[in-house]
Amino acid sequence: MKAFLFQCAILLCLAQLQAIHCFVAPRAEEIDVSRTDQASDLPDLYEASVLELQEGLDAGHFTSVDLIKAYFARIEEVNLKGPALRAIIETNPSALKQAAALDAERAVSGKRSLLHGIPVILKDNIATVATEGMNTTAGSFALLGSIVPDDAGVVKKLREAGAIILGKANLSEFAEFRGNLPSGWSGRGGQTTNAYFPNADPCGSSSGSGVSTSIGLAAVSLGSETDGSITCPTSNNNLAGVKPTVGLTSRAGVIPISEHQDTVGPMCRSISDAAIVLSIIAGKDPNDNFTLAQPDEVPDYTKALNSQALVGKRIGVPRKVFLNDSITGNDPTINVAFEQALRVLEELGATIVDPADLPSAEEIARSNNETVVLDTDFKIQINAWLEDLIVVPTGVQSLADLIAFDNAHPSLEEPINFTSQSEFIASEATKGFTDAYFQSLAFDKELGSTRGIDAALDTFELDALVLPAQGFTTVPAAIAGYPIVTVPLGFYPNNVTIGSAGPETIYPAPGVPFGLSFLGTAFSEFELIGFAFAYETKTKTRLARRAFPAAIPKTQLKDIVGN
Ligand SMILES: *[C@@H]1O[C@H](CO)[C@@H](O)[C@H](O)[C@H]1NC(C)=O
Ligand SMILES: *[C@@H]1O[C@H](CO)[C@@H](O)[C@H](O)[C@H]1NC(C)=O
Ligand SMILES: *[C@@H]1O[C@H](CO)[C@@H](O)[C@H](O)[C@H]1NC(C)=O
Ligand SMILES: *[C@@H]1O[C@H](CO)[C@@H](O)[C@H](O)[C@H]1NC(C)=O
Ligand SMILES: *[C@@H]1O[C@H](CO)[C@@H](O)[C@H](O)[C@H]1NC(C)=O
Ligand SMILES: *[C@@H]1O[C@H](CO)[C@@H](O)[C@H](O)[C@H]1NC(C)=O
Ligand SMILES: CC(=O)N[C@H]1CO[C@H](CO)[C@@H](O)[C@@H]1O
């Protein structure tokens, strides 16, 4: 039972969904609209957008070296000290040197892109070359000191664009695929916690990416999603996030769960920032052949940022299963906010088609096909990952070795009240590409797309579907490989009844955010970003509430510039 109490253990809660608890009703919310005053014209790093940072860099108000120093100081204030959010596992020892070079280049030849000199946090399952000084471990001591063959495909694109990797974010270890781990816990990083209430669940598995971006420990971050791992921490941390279509962004050099579902995407404080990052990391990569199926031209997603994007659009509400509280476990607060959001979408010119059910909804809720596919894929792909490593100081060479390593090092690799690494063990027991595997893969495509998302879009002539980010929302998109774009929807009220999420975390809790998700067919990111932008621009929900005071870093550019 314990695992099911983890609010967003997300992966594979399919059969167990009935067991998720409904939380006690909250009501009114108190909105704190006070913002810190900025005496100078330097942007407040808590909220600063990529465009504001570029403006300041271009105008010479500060440099990328200043930015790195400021973000490092902010990490230092809250990561292990103070509220000890444990959002960051490692910082980049080469970042200052890289920033100086990029500052010099900007002075001579201008910026390469909107990410030139901008600090980016990466989830610790995204590879960076060891010579730069950081590990790539998915949070596990088993991979500490391992040498990856190359930068991840998305990291190559970030570096070409002039971005600076500021550090690696904590995560649910192995992207939540070990079994029975609390959201946001890893052996190396410990328990990440939410910045909106002490010890609240940050959700996973891209927990550190979410928390660090939510309070400005970096400009932007990348997470990865197999089922829910960008969407849920985006939701819990008051962010805008894009879970791209599988094959829009390269997974080369990303510690895998499944090539059929894994995808890398931006987690940012605004959909505008997310559009900037996605435009840079999207595109074909010869090292990930799924990316070769995408349209030839990578869209400029910033062109989708149109506040009129919802005018004349048909947006469907797939109520069956996905808005059934006894299946989603969603708190009534979320439902109330969601119904209000539907009215806002109407005000923005959309026609709400309600209900617009997925024909496969109930079958998806019963299906175990996703588990069959992920368990089988993980063993094959993690073994290939381990084989490709140049050096592995722990000697771990296979999934079986990983299981043995964890068993041999309980003090490093077992959180409080750990029960078993059930997912690893189930995966190790799979027998490769069996007939049952191919059947499950075909069923997933059918349930997620042909009798799922695409069926609803076609039947009701929709431009997109909309749902609360929390609940069962991510599953059809996960098994179809389809995109989800999420923006802030609301916050739990101050008097919400606090629940338990894990041995060290609570959920729900006062002021913890939740999001609104737009879903569509393959490669519909451009449209979904437009819809999310229109909603975000109208509601500005992110700005309605801030993190708890101790979790708000005090260092600002004014403390760095000129000192
Ligand atoms: C929370 O506060 C609201 C309004 O102040 C009230 O109506 C509601 O009953 C309270 N809820 C709980 C769980 O105490
Ligand atoms: C990895 O982490 C270890 C321990 O924190 C550190 O000594 C090492 O420099 C890091 N970087 C690499 C590339 O191993
Ligand atoms: C990608 O390449 C592998 C072999 O390297 C092959 O097995 C697989 O079918 C290819 N997948 C796609 C989507 O082309
Ligand atoms: C909600 O789900 C429960 C449990 O599966 C089911 O018994 C109930 O009929 C569903 N409610 C609706 C309105 O579909
Ligand atoms: C896969 O989905 C199909 C269609 O709903 C279902 O009949 C089958 O039982 C599912 N298989 C598993 C392993 O859950
Ligand atoms: C660990 O489990 C025991 C027994 O179920 C329980 O009494 C204890 O409160 C748990 N500790 C934490 C920190 O959850
Ligand atoms: C950057 C940073 O603060 N990293 C820390 C993450 O947590 C581990 C475990 O407590 C520390 O060893 C790291 O220094």
pLDDT tens-place string over residues 517-563: 999 999 999 999 999 999 999 999 999 999 999 999 999 999 999 88
Q: What is the mean pLDDT of residues 408-425?
A: 95
What is the pLDDT, as a whole number, of residue 180?
83
To which H or E segment does residue 267 belong? Answer: strand 263-268
C-beta 88 within 6 A of ligand 7? yes
Residue 31 falls within a domain, yes or no? no
Q: What is the mean pLDDT of residues 288-296?
A: 97
Upstream peptide bond of 508 is cis (omega within 30 degrees of 0):
yes
Question: Of all protein residues, whose CA lies closest to atom 13 belonging to ligand 7?
Answer: 89
> Ligand 5 test: best mutation among 14, 16, 17, 367, most atoms within 8 Å of CB?
367
What is the pLDDT, as a whole number, of residue 40?
60
Q: What is the mean pLDDT of residues 231-244?
A: 98
Beta strands 119-123 and 164-169 are parallel
101 falls in which pLDDT band (50, 70, 90)? very high
> Ligand 7 test: best mutation among 71, 76, 77, 79, most atoms within 8 Å of CB?
79
Taking the CA of 133 as reference, the closest ligand is 2
Question: Of all protein residues, whose CA lies closest to atom 11 belonging to ligand 5?
Answer: 369
DSSP helix/strand/coil, 344: helix
Q: What is the mean pLDDT of residues 143-166?
A: 98
Alpha-carbon span 243 to 229, nearest angstrom:
9
137 falls in which pLDDT band (50, 70, 90)? very high
What is the pLDDT, as a whole number, of residue 562?
83
The CATH code of the domain that includes 114 is 3.90.1300.10
What is the pLDDT, as a whole number, of residue 33?
33
What is the pLDDT, as a whole number, of residue 273?
98
Q: What is the mean pLDDT of residues 75-101?
A: 98
pLDDT tens for residues 347-368? Answer: 999 999 999 999 999 999 999 9
Upstream peptide bond of 207 is cis (omega within 30 degrees of 0):
no
Q: Can you say how many angstroms the Cα of residue 128 is from the centroid of all Cα atoms in its chain? A: 19
Residue 242: φ, ψ to 5°: -120, 120
41 falls in which pLDDT band (50, 70, 90)? confident
> Ligand 4 test: best mutation among 13, 20, 322, 326, most atoms within 8 Å of CB?
326
Q: What is the mean pLDDT of residues 288-313?
A: 97
pLDDT-wise least confident of 35-39, 222-226, 512-516, 535-539: 35-39
Is the pLDDT at 486 greater than 90? The verdict is yes
What is the pLDDT, as a whole number, of residue 410?
96
Q: What is the mean pLDDT of residues 291-306?
A: 97
Residue 223 falls within a domain, yes or no? yes
Give me the active site residues, please.
Answer: 123, 205, 229
Q: Name the residue with higher pLDDT: 420 or 194.
A: 194
Rama region for 354: left / alpha / beta (φ>0; ψ in -120 to 50; rest): beta
Is the pLDDT at 2 greater than 80? The verdict is no
**C-alpha dist (Å) from residue 314 to 10, 228, 376, 459, 473:** 29, 25, 38, 12, 19
Taking the CA of 319 as reference, the closest ligand is 4
- % the chain with pLDDT above 90: 92
Question: Of all protein residues, whose CA lies closest to atom 8 belonging to ligand 7?
Answer: 189
Q: Which residues form ligand 3's pocket by a CB distance below 6 Å? A: 289-290
C-beta 133 within 6 A of ligand 2? yes
Tell me if 118 sits within 8 A of 222, measured CB to CB: no
220 falls in which pLDDT band (50, 70, 90)? very high
Cα radius of gyration (the chain): 22
Q: What is the mean pLDDT of residues 17-41?
A: 35
C-beta 495 within 6 A of ligand 1? yes
CA of 259 to the centre of ligand 7 (A): 30
Domain count, the chain: 1
Secondary structure string (H, E, C) spanning 486-532: EEEEEECCCCCCCCECCCCCECCCCCCEEEEEEECCCCCHHHHHHHH
Residue 267 token pair:
């987690």
What is the pLDDT, as a whole number, of residue 30?
33
Alpha-carbon span 148 to 420, nearest angstrom:
28
Residue 146 falls within a domain, yes or no? yes
CA of 417 to the centre of ligand 6 (A): 6
CA of 68 to the centre of ligand 7 (A): 18
Task: For residue 330, give its domain range.
Answer: 43-559
Residue 447 token pair:
């349930």
Residue 301 falls within a domain, yes or no? yes
Residue 405 falls within a domain, yes or no? yes
Residue 3 falls within a domain, yes or no? no
Residue 254: burial class (beta carbons within 10 Å; 0-12, 13-18, 19+) = buried
48 falls in which pLDDT band (50, 70, 90)? very high
Taking the CA of 286 as reference, the closest ligand is 3
- % the chain with pLDDT above 70: 93
Taking the CA of 191 as reference, the closest ligand is 7
Is the pLDDT at 503 greater than 50? The verdict is yes
Residue 198 falls within a domain, yes or no? yes
Nearest to 316 by CA among 18, 554, 517: 517
Q: What is the mean pLDDT of residues 200-214?
A: 98
Q: 39-43 long-range contacts, Cβ below 8 Å, gap at least 24?
A: 39/558, 40/558, 42/556, 42/557, 42/558, 42/561, 43/557
C-beta 416 within 6 A of ligand 6? yes
> Ligand 1 test: best mutation among 22, 23, 24, 27, most atoms within 8 Å of CB?
27
Alpha-carbon span 533 to 437, nearest angstrom:
39
67 falls in which pLDDT band (50, 70, 90)? very high
CA of 339 to the centre of ligand 7 (A): 41
Place of tokens 């929900």: 541
Is the pLDDT at 509 greater than 80? The verdict is yes
Is the pLDDT at 36 greater than 50? The verdict is no
CA of 140 to the centre of ligand 7 (A): 13
Strands (E), 349-410: 351-353
Residue 506 token pair:
């609570």
What is the pLDDT, as a whole number, of residue 56?
98
Is the pLDDT at 329 greater than 80? The verdict is yes
List for the chain the helix, strand, coil content (%; round to 5): 40, 15, 45
Question: Of all protein residues, whose CA lies closest to atom 14 belonging to ligand 1?
Answer: 495
Residue 184 falls within a domain, yes or no? yes
Is the pLDDT at 13 greater than 80? The verdict is no
